[in-house]
Structure 1
Amino acid sequence: MRNTFIIICLLLFNSNLFSQEFKLPEIFPSSPTAAELGKFGADPVNLSTGLPQIEIPLYTIQSGD
């Protein structure tokens, strides 16, 4: 019984464990031209007509202060 237990323990604990070898991905900043491509879809678009929602404020009324 003791020999069987020792053999089972040796088989279980002899395996390679890789639980501590986690590497974080290397993140590089994008180039300025690639960053400008991200601004392409930043304009709000009306989902029903597909037209851009362009707003030009002519005058702002401030009340109170």
Structure 2
Amino acid sequence: PDGVHDLGGLVTWLKKRGEGFEEALDDMSGVRVAVNQEMAELDHPLTDQDEVAVFPPMTGGNAAEAPT
């Protein structure tokens, strides 16, 4: 989307898309995010060609237990 340059910006943009997105992404502490199939932090820059995947805790997204 226009004006989105990193993962944090994408999360903010998604939260504004509706209540379901806002609820799902409100607490990012247990959510893992990958860019082009590699785990990334919220300050990771994005390009138009990037593939982004979001893994909630129930699918193994618990950041506290994930290897770095």
Q: TM-score, normalised by structure 2?
A: 0.18
| Higher RCO (CA < 8 A, seq sep 6+) | 2
Q: TM-score, normalised by structure 1?
A: 0.19
**Is the radius of gyration larger for structure 1 or structure 2?**
1
Q: Which structure is higher in strand share?
A: 2
